[in-house]
Amino acid sequence: MANGKKKSRKKLFVFGGLGLLLVVVILLVAFAGNKEEIIPVQTEKVSRRTITQVVTATGKINPEFQVKIAAEATGEIVSLLVQEGDHVKKGQLLLRIKPDIYEAQKNSAEARLQQARASLSSTKALLEKVESDYKRVQELTQKGLASDADLEAARSNYLQTLGNYESQKSLVSQAEAALKEAIETLNKTYVYSPMDGTISKLNVELGERVIGSGFTGTELLTVADLNNMEATVEVDENDVVLVSIGDTAKINIDAFGDKVFKGIVTQIGNSAITSGLGTQDEVVNFEVKIRLTDKDDKIRPGMSCDADIETETKENVLAVPIQSVTARVPKPEKSEEGDEDNVKENNRKNKPQEVVFIVENGKAKMVKVKTGISDDNYIEIIEGLQGGEEVISGPYRAISKELEDGKTVTVTSGKSKLAQNEK
Protein backbone atom coordinates (compact mmCIF):
# COMPACT_ATOMS: atom_id res chain seq x y z
CA MET A 1 0.00 0.00 0.00
CA ALA A 2 2.82 2.36 0.86
CA ASN A 3 4.61 1.50 -2.40
CA GLY A 4 1.48 2.44 -4.42
CA LYS A 5 1.28 5.86 -2.75
CA LYS A 6 4.95 6.52 -3.45
CA LYS A 7 4.49 5.67 -7.13
CA SER A 8 1.45 8.02 -7.40
CA ARG A 9 3.39 10.89 -5.82
CA LYS A 10 6.34 10.28 -8.13
CA LYS A 11 4.11 10.41 -11.22
CA LEU A 12 2.50 13.61 -9.91
CA PHE A 13 5.88 15.31 -9.52
CA VAL A 14 7.02 14.20 -12.98
CA PHE A 15 3.88 15.38 -14.78
CA GLY A 16 3.76 18.53 -12.73
CA GLY A 17 7.38 19.33 -13.65
CA LEU A 18 6.72 18.69 -17.32
CA GLY A 19 3.70 20.93 -17.25
CA LEU A 20 5.62 23.73 -15.54
CA LEU A 21 8.43 23.39 -18.09
CA LEU A 22 5.91 23.58 -20.92
CA VAL A 23 4.40 26.78 -19.48
CA VAL A 24 7.87 28.33 -19.18
CA VAL A 25 8.70 27.43 -22.79
CA ILE A 26 5.40 28.89 -24.02
CA LEU A 27 6.03 32.12 -22.09
CA LEU A 28 9.58 32.40 -23.42
CA VAL A 29 8.39 31.90 -27.01
CA ALA A 30 5.63 34.45 -26.57
CA PHE A 31 8.06 36.95 -25.04
CA ALA A 32 10.57 36.42 -27.82
CA GLY A 33 7.86 36.88 -30.46
CA ASN A 34 6.76 40.15 -28.92
CA LYS A 35 10.30 41.51 -28.58
CA GLU A 36 10.75 44.53 -30.88
CA GLU A 37 13.75 44.71 -33.25
CA ILE A 38 16.10 47.62 -32.49
CA ILE A 39 18.17 48.93 -35.41
CA PRO A 40 21.53 50.59 -34.63
CA VAL A 41 22.10 53.75 -36.73
CA GLN A 42 24.36 56.77 -37.05
CA THR A 43 22.94 60.27 -37.36
CA GLU A 44 23.96 63.74 -38.46
CA LYS A 45 22.26 67.09 -37.95
CA VAL A 46 20.59 68.75 -40.92
CA SER A 47 22.60 71.92 -41.52
CA ARG A 48 23.21 74.62 -44.10
CA ARG A 49 26.12 74.22 -46.49
CA THR A 50 27.59 75.42 -49.78
CA ILE A 51 27.09 72.75 -52.44
CA THR A 52 28.86 72.68 -55.79
CA GLN A 53 27.45 70.30 -58.39
CA VAL A 54 30.23 68.59 -60.34
CA VAL A 55 30.23 66.67 -63.64
CA THR A 56 33.19 64.32 -64.04
CA ALA A 57 34.66 63.34 -67.42
CA THR A 58 37.85 61.90 -68.88
CA GLY A 59 39.79 62.78 -72.01
CA LYS A 60 43.06 64.03 -73.49
CA ILE A 61 45.12 67.20 -73.47
CA ASN A 62 45.42 68.93 -76.86
CA PRO A 63 46.69 72.28 -78.13
CA GLU A 64 43.90 74.80 -78.48
CA PHE A 65 45.34 75.84 -81.85
CA GLN A 66 47.16 73.39 -84.13
CA VAL A 67 47.53 72.89 -87.87
CA LYS A 68 48.23 69.60 -89.61
CA ILE A 69 50.19 70.22 -92.80
CA ALA A 70 49.77 67.78 -95.70
CA ALA A 71 51.76 67.61 -98.94
CA GLU A 72 50.19 69.38 -101.92
CA ALA A 73 53.05 68.47 -104.28
CA THR A 74 54.31 64.97 -105.09
CA GLY A 75 58.02 64.22 -104.91
CA GLU A 76 61.06 63.58 -102.77
CA ILE A 77 61.87 65.66 -99.70
CA VAL A 78 65.22 67.23 -100.58
CA SER A 79 65.44 69.64 -97.65
CA LEU A 80 64.14 69.17 -94.08
CA LEU A 81 64.93 72.22 -91.97
CA VAL A 82 63.18 71.41 -88.66
CA GLN A 83 62.99 68.70 -86.04
CA GLU A 84 60.19 67.68 -83.69
CA GLY A 85 60.03 70.11 -80.77
CA ASP A 86 61.51 73.07 -82.68
CA HIS A 87 59.91 76.47 -82.22
CA VAL A 88 58.98 78.12 -85.52
CA LYS A 89 57.64 81.47 -86.69
CA LYS A 90 54.83 82.16 -89.13
CA GLY A 91 56.19 82.08 -92.70
CA GLN A 92 59.33 80.14 -91.78
CA LEU A 93 60.46 77.55 -94.38
CA LEU A 94 60.07 74.05 -92.94
CA LEU A 95 60.94 71.70 -95.81
CA ARG A 96 61.35 71.52 -99.59
CA ILE A 97 60.03 68.93 -102.05
CA LYS A 98 62.09 68.24 -105.20
CA PRO A 99 60.89 70.86 -107.72
CA ASP A 100 62.37 69.59 -111.04
CA ILE A 101 59.11 68.42 -112.63
CA TYR A 102 57.20 71.52 -111.52
CA GLU A 103 59.94 73.86 -112.80
CA ALA A 104 59.74 72.12 -116.20
CA GLN A 105 55.94 72.55 -116.20
CA LYS A 106 56.38 76.23 -115.39
CA ASN A 107 58.88 76.73 -118.21
CA SER A 108 56.55 74.96 -120.62
CA ALA A 109 53.63 77.16 -119.56
CA GLU A 110 55.76 80.27 -120.07
CA ALA A 111 56.68 79.14 -123.59
CA ARG A 112 53.03 78.49 -124.49
CA LEU A 113 52.09 81.92 -123.20
CA GLN A 114 54.77 83.59 -125.30
CA GLN A 115 53.58 81.69 -128.37
CA ALA A 116 49.98 82.67 -127.73
CA ARG A 117 50.93 86.31 -127.30
CA ALA A 118 52.92 86.27 -130.56
CA SER A 119 49.96 84.77 -132.42
CA LEU A 120 47.72 87.41 -130.87
CA SER A 121 50.00 90.20 -132.09
CA SER A 122 50.03 88.74 -135.60
CA THR A 123 46.28 88.35 -135.65
CA LYS A 124 45.85 91.89 -134.37
CA ALA A 125 47.97 93.28 -137.21
CA LEU A 126 45.98 91.29 -139.75
CA LEU A 127 42.73 92.52 -138.18
CA GLU A 128 43.82 96.14 -138.51
CA LYS A 129 44.60 95.62 -142.25
CA VAL A 130 41.31 93.82 -142.92
CA GLU A 131 39.37 96.49 -141.04
CA SER A 132 41.05 99.22 -143.11
CA ASP A 133 40.20 97.37 -146.37
CA TYR A 134 36.59 96.95 -145.25
CA LYS A 135 36.22 100.69 -144.58
CA ARG A 136 37.76 101.54 -147.96
CA VAL A 137 35.33 99.24 -149.81
CA GLN A 138 32.46 100.89 -147.91
CA GLU A 139 33.53 104.30 -149.21
CA LEU A 140 33.91 103.03 -152.77
CA THR A 141 30.49 101.42 -152.64
CA GLN A 142 28.92 104.70 -151.55
CA LYS A 143 30.57 106.40 -154.58
CA GLY A 144 29.42 103.63 -156.91
CA LEU A 145 32.97 102.48 -157.62
CA ALA A 146 32.55 99.04 -155.92
CA SER A 147 29.78 96.50 -156.16
CA ASP A 148 27.69 95.14 -153.31
CA ALA A 149 29.44 91.79 -153.76
CA ASP A 150 32.81 93.43 -153.07
CA LEU A 151 31.37 95.06 -149.96
CA GLU A 152 29.93 91.76 -148.71
CA ALA A 153 33.23 89.94 -149.29
CA ALA A 154 35.18 92.64 -147.39
CA ARG A 155 32.69 92.55 -144.51
CA SER A 156 32.87 88.73 -144.27
CA ASN A 157 36.67 88.80 -144.24
CA TYR A 158 36.64 91.43 -141.48
CA LEU A 159 34.23 89.49 -139.25
CA GLN A 160 36.20 86.26 -139.69
CA THR A 161 39.47 87.97 -138.78
CA LEU A 162 37.81 89.65 -135.77
CA GLY A 163 36.63 86.23 -134.58
CA ASN A 164 40.15 84.81 -134.90
CA TYR A 165 41.46 87.74 -132.88
CA GLU A 166 38.98 87.19 -130.07
CA SER A 167 39.78 83.47 -130.10
CA GLN A 168 43.47 84.24 -129.87
CA LYS A 169 42.84 86.53 -126.90
CA SER A 170 41.13 83.59 -125.13
CA LEU A 171 44.15 81.39 -125.83
CA VAL A 172 46.39 83.99 -124.26
CA SER A 173 44.14 84.10 -121.17
CA GLN A 174 44.27 80.29 -120.93
CA ALA A 175 48.05 80.32 -121.26
CA GLU A 176 48.31 82.95 -118.51
CA ALA A 177 46.09 80.86 -116.21
CA ALA A 178 48.16 77.73 -116.96
CA LEU A 179 51.34 79.61 -116.10
CA LYS A 180 49.80 80.91 -112.87
CA GLU A 181 48.80 77.34 -111.93
CA ALA A 182 52.29 76.02 -112.74
CA ILE A 183 53.86 78.71 -110.57
CA GLU A 184 51.40 77.95 -107.75
CA THR A 185 52.21 74.23 -107.94
CA LEU A 186 55.93 74.99 -107.97
CA ASN A 187 55.50 77.15 -104.87
CA LYS A 188 53.83 74.18 -103.12
CA THR A 189 57.20 72.44 -103.13
CA TYR A 190 58.12 75.00 -100.46
CA VAL A 191 56.35 74.26 -97.15
CA TYR A 192 56.10 77.21 -94.76
CA SER A 193 54.78 77.45 -91.20
CA PRO A 194 51.22 78.84 -91.11
CA MET A 195 51.58 80.13 -87.52
CA ASP A 196 53.92 80.72 -84.62
CA GLY A 197 54.27 77.53 -82.63
CA THR A 198 56.09 74.28 -82.04
CA ILE A 199 56.61 71.26 -84.29
CA SER A 200 54.56 68.89 -82.14
CA LYS A 201 54.69 66.02 -84.64
CA LEU A 202 57.02 65.27 -87.57
CA ASN A 203 55.86 62.41 -89.79
CA VAL A 204 58.50 62.42 -92.57
CA GLU A 205 62.23 62.17 -93.01
CA LEU A 206 64.75 63.61 -95.42
CA GLY A 207 64.68 61.72 -98.76
CA GLU A 208 61.21 60.31 -98.22
CA ARG A 209 58.76 60.48 -101.13
CA VAL A 210 55.38 62.05 -100.46
CA ILE A 211 52.14 62.19 -102.42
CA GLY A 212 50.59 65.59 -102.99
CA SER A 213 46.86 66.24 -102.98
CA GLY A 214 44.54 69.02 -101.96
CA PHE A 215 42.53 66.59 -99.80
CA THR A 216 44.42 63.35 -99.07
CA GLY A 217 48.07 64.28 -99.36
CA THR A 218 50.75 62.72 -97.15
CA GLU A 219 50.64 64.27 -93.68
CA LEU A 220 53.99 65.97 -93.20
CA LEU A 221 53.93 67.54 -89.74
CA THR A 222 51.85 69.36 -87.15
CA VAL A 223 52.47 72.87 -85.87
CA ALA A 224 50.84 73.60 -82.50
CA ASP A 225 50.64 76.52 -80.11
CA LEU A 226 51.69 74.81 -76.87
CA ASN A 227 51.19 78.01 -74.90
CA ASN A 228 47.42 77.51 -75.12
CA MET A 229 46.33 74.01 -74.13
CA GLU A 230 42.88 72.52 -73.63
CA ALA A 231 41.34 69.35 -72.26
CA THR A 232 39.07 67.54 -74.70
CA VAL A 233 36.75 65.33 -72.62
CA GLU A 234 33.66 63.22 -73.28
CA VAL A 235 30.62 63.94 -71.09
CA ASP A 236 27.71 61.53 -70.67
CA GLU A 237 24.45 62.54 -72.38
CA ASN A 238 22.68 62.78 -69.01
CA ASP A 239 25.28 65.20 -67.64
CA VAL A 240 26.05 67.36 -70.70
CA VAL A 241 22.75 69.27 -70.24
CA LEU A 242 24.13 70.54 -66.92
CA VAL A 243 27.30 71.97 -68.50
CA SER A 244 27.42 75.56 -69.81
CA ILE A 245 30.10 77.58 -71.60
CA GLY A 246 32.08 79.50 -69.00
CA ASP A 247 31.80 76.85 -66.27
CA THR A 248 34.98 76.43 -64.27
CA ALA A 249 36.73 73.08 -64.04
CA LYS A 250 39.47 71.34 -62.08
CA ILE A 251 41.69 69.14 -64.24
CA ASN A 252 43.97 66.34 -63.06
CA ILE A 253 46.59 65.31 -65.61
CA ASP A 254 47.80 61.77 -64.95
CA ALA A 255 51.45 62.65 -65.57
CA PHE A 256 51.38 65.38 -62.90
CA GLY A 257 50.08 63.28 -60.02
CA ASP A 258 47.88 65.21 -57.57
CA LYS A 259 48.52 68.62 -59.13
CA VAL A 260 45.26 70.34 -60.09
CA PHE A 261 44.96 72.66 -63.09
CA LYS A 262 42.15 75.19 -63.49
CA GLY A 263 40.16 75.56 -66.67
CA ILE A 264 37.12 77.13 -68.34
CA VAL A 265 34.61 75.38 -70.62
CA THR A 266 34.90 76.97 -74.09
CA GLN A 267 32.98 74.60 -76.35
CA ILE A 268 30.22 71.98 -76.05
CA GLY A 269 29.74 69.56 -78.94
CA ASN A 270 26.38 69.32 -80.69
CA SER A 271 27.02 65.91 -82.28
CA ALA A 272 26.93 62.75 -80.20
CA ILE A 273 29.85 60.32 -79.98
CA THR A 274 28.31 56.84 -79.81
CA SER A 275 30.17 53.65 -78.91
CA GLY A 276 28.77 50.11 -78.85
CA LEU A 277 25.92 51.11 -81.15
CA GLY A 278 23.07 48.60 -81.13
CA THR A 279 24.40 46.66 -78.13
CA GLN A 280 23.64 46.62 -74.42
CA ASP A 281 26.88 48.52 -73.84
CA GLU A 282 25.85 51.45 -76.06
CA VAL A 283 27.18 54.73 -74.66
CA VAL A 284 26.36 58.23 -75.91
CA ASN A 285 28.77 61.05 -75.03
CA PHE A 286 29.35 64.63 -76.12
CA GLU A 287 32.72 66.32 -76.59
CA VAL A 288 33.47 69.24 -74.29
CA LYS A 289 36.57 71.45 -74.57
CA ILE A 290 38.09 73.09 -71.50
CA ARG A 291 40.80 75.76 -71.86
CA LEU A 292 43.57 75.44 -69.26
CA THR A 293 44.14 78.75 -67.48
CA ASP A 294 47.17 77.37 -65.64
CA LYS A 295 50.24 77.03 -67.84
CA ASP A 296 53.07 74.53 -67.57
CA ASP A 297 55.78 74.01 -70.19
CA LYS A 298 55.86 70.29 -69.37
CA ILE A 299 52.29 69.67 -70.55
CA ARG A 300 52.32 67.70 -73.81
CA PRO A 301 49.58 66.93 -76.34
CA GLY A 302 47.94 63.53 -75.86
CA MET A 303 48.31 63.33 -72.08
CA SER A 304 45.39 61.66 -70.27
CA CYS A 305 43.32 63.73 -67.88
CA ASP A 306 40.23 63.79 -65.65
CA ALA A 307 38.09 66.91 -65.39
CA ASP A 308 35.64 67.95 -62.66
CA ILE A 309 33.36 70.57 -64.21
CA GLU A 310 31.66 72.75 -61.61
CA THR A 311 28.25 73.30 -63.17
CA GLU A 312 26.40 75.06 -60.33
CA THR A 313 27.07 76.36 -56.83
CA LYS A 314 24.46 77.14 -54.16
CA GLU A 315 25.37 78.74 -50.85
CA ASN A 316 23.66 78.41 -47.46
CA VAL A 317 21.23 75.65 -48.45
CA LEU A 318 19.83 72.85 -46.28
CA ALA A 319 21.79 69.67 -46.92
CA VAL A 320 22.01 66.10 -45.71
CA PRO A 321 24.54 63.34 -46.43
CA ILE A 322 23.86 62.01 -49.88
CA GLN A 323 23.40 58.45 -48.58
CA SER A 324 20.64 59.63 -46.24
CA VAL A 325 18.22 60.06 -49.14
CA THR A 326 16.57 56.84 -50.23
CA ALA A 327 13.38 55.78 -52.02
CA ARG A 328 10.23 54.12 -50.74
CA VAL A 329 7.05 53.10 -52.56
CA PRO A 330 3.89 54.43 -50.84
CA LYS A 331 1.84 51.77 -49.06
CA PRO A 332 -1.07 50.40 -51.12
CA GLU A 333 -4.46 51.94 -50.53
CA LYS A 334 -7.19 49.87 -48.93
CA SER A 335 -10.14 49.17 -51.21
CA GLU A 336 -13.69 50.03 -50.30
CA GLU A 337 -16.68 48.20 -51.60
CA GLY A 338 -17.28 49.06 -55.25
CA ASP A 339 -14.00 50.98 -55.54
CA GLU A 340 -11.54 48.09 -55.89
CA ASP A 341 -10.63 48.77 -59.55
CA ASN A 342 -9.74 52.42 -58.92
CA VAL A 343 -7.59 51.51 -55.93
CA LYS A 344 -5.70 48.87 -57.93
CA GLU A 345 -5.08 51.38 -60.71
CA ASN A 346 -3.79 54.00 -58.26
CA ASN A 347 -1.55 51.45 -56.55
CA ARG A 348 -0.15 50.41 -59.91
CA LYS A 349 0.75 54.01 -60.72
CA ASN A 350 2.48 54.55 -57.38
CA LYS A 351 6.09 55.60 -57.96
CA PRO A 352 8.97 55.54 -55.49
CA GLN A 353 9.30 58.73 -53.47
CA GLU A 354 12.47 60.35 -52.13
CA VAL A 355 12.54 60.15 -48.33
CA VAL A 356 14.87 60.53 -45.38
CA PHE A 357 14.58 59.08 -41.87
CA ILE A 358 14.95 61.28 -38.80
CA VAL A 359 15.14 60.16 -35.17
CA GLU A 360 12.37 61.24 -32.80
CA ASN A 361 12.05 59.73 -29.30
CA GLY A 362 14.01 56.63 -30.27
CA LYS A 363 11.87 56.00 -33.34
CA ALA A 364 12.63 56.38 -37.05
CA LYS A 365 10.31 58.87 -38.72
CA MET A 366 10.05 58.77 -42.51
CA VAL A 367 9.92 62.23 -44.13
CA LYS A 368 9.18 62.83 -47.79
CA VAL A 369 11.63 65.33 -49.31
CA LYS A 370 12.36 67.18 -52.52
CA THR A 371 16.03 67.31 -53.46
CA GLY A 372 18.15 69.69 -55.55
CA ILE A 373 21.79 69.65 -56.60
CA SER A 374 24.46 67.50 -54.96
CA ASP A 375 28.20 67.17 -54.66
CA ASP A 376 30.23 64.08 -53.79
CA ASN A 377 29.08 64.07 -50.16
CA TYR A 378 25.93 66.14 -49.62
CA ILE A 379 22.62 66.76 -51.38
CA GLU A 380 20.40 69.85 -51.21
CA ILE A 381 16.98 69.54 -49.54
CA ILE A 382 14.44 71.91 -51.09
CA GLU A 383 11.33 70.72 -49.23
CA GLY A 384 10.58 68.47 -46.27
CA LEU A 385 13.07 69.54 -43.58
CA GLN A 386 13.53 72.72 -41.54
CA GLY A 387 17.08 72.24 -40.28
CA GLY A 388 18.46 70.91 -37.02
CA GLU A 389 16.80 67.49 -37.30
CA GLU A 390 18.84 64.37 -36.56
CA VAL A 391 18.82 62.61 -39.91
CA ILE A 392 19.95 59.00 -40.13
CA SER A 393 23.16 58.82 -42.17
CA GLY A 394 24.12 55.17 -41.82
CA PRO A 395 24.54 52.30 -42.17
CA TYR A 396 23.59 52.07 -45.83
CA ARG A 397 21.76 48.73 -45.48
CA ALA A 398 19.50 50.10 -42.77
CA ILE A 399 18.61 53.21 -44.80
CA SER A 400 18.04 51.39 -48.08
CA LYS A 401 16.16 48.32 -46.78
CA GLU A 402 15.52 47.92 -43.07
CA LEU A 403 14.15 51.24 -41.84
CA GLU A 404 10.42 51.92 -41.90
CA ASP A 405 8.29 54.60 -40.32
CA GLY A 406 8.02 53.96 -36.59
CA LYS A 407 10.88 51.47 -36.31
CA THR A 408 12.81 51.55 -33.03
CA VAL A 409 16.41 52.70 -33.45
CA THR A 410 19.41 53.24 -31.25
CA VAL A 411 22.03 55.83 -32.11
CA THR A 412 25.49 54.30 -31.88
CA SER A 413 28.52 56.23 -30.76
CA GLY A 414 30.38 55.43 -33.98
CA LYS A 415 30.22 58.12 -36.63
CA SER A 416 29.36 57.57 -40.27
CA LYS A 417 32.21 57.24 -42.75
CA LEU A 418 31.29 60.63 -44.20
CA ALA A 419 31.59 62.37 -40.84
CA GLN A 420 34.90 60.59 -40.18
CA ASN A 421 36.24 61.72 -43.55
CA GLU A 422 35.28 65.31 -42.81
CA LYS A 423 37.25 65.15 -39.60
Q: Are 369 and 352 in contact (CB under 8 A)?
A: no
pLDDT at 265: 96
pLDDT tens, residue order, the chain (423 aa): 444 544 555 555 545 555 566 655 555 544 444 456 788 989 999 999 999 999 999 999 999 999 999 999 999 999 999 999 999 999 999 999 999 999 999 999 999 999 999 999 999 999 999 999 889 888 888 888 888 888 899 899 989 999 999 999 999 999 999 999 999 999 999 999 999 999 999 999 999 999 998 778 899 999 999 989 999 999 999 999 999 999 999 999 999 999 999 999 999 999 999 888 778 888 899 999 999 998 888 899 999 999 999 999 999 999 999 999 998 887 765 555 545 555 555 556 668 889 999 998 888 899 999 999 998 899 999 988 998 889 999 898 888 888 888 888 888 865 555 545 554
68-98+189-224 maps to which CATH number?
2.40.50.100
Output the pTM of the full model. 0.66
**Comparing C-alpha atoms, which of 231, 232, 236 is closest to residue 261?**
231
E-only strand ranges, 237-281: 248-253, 260-275
**Comparing C-alpha atoms, which of 47, 40, 39 is closest to residue 389?**
47
Q: Which amino acid is at 109?
A: A
Q: Are 221 and 81 in contact (CB under 8 A)?
A: no
pLDDT at 180: 95
Q: Are 69 and 204 in contact (CB under 8 A)?
A: no
pLDDT at 280: 80
38-51+317-422 maps to which CATH number?
2.40.420.20
Break the chain into its structural domains and give their ranges.
38-51+317-422, 68-98+189-224, 100-186, 225-313
Residues in the chain: 423
CA atoms within 13 A on the CB side of 185: 21
Q: How far apart are CA 313 and CA 54, in angstroms?
A: 9
pLDDT at 29: 47
3-state secondary structure of 217: coil
Architecture of domain 225-313: Beta Barrel (2.40)
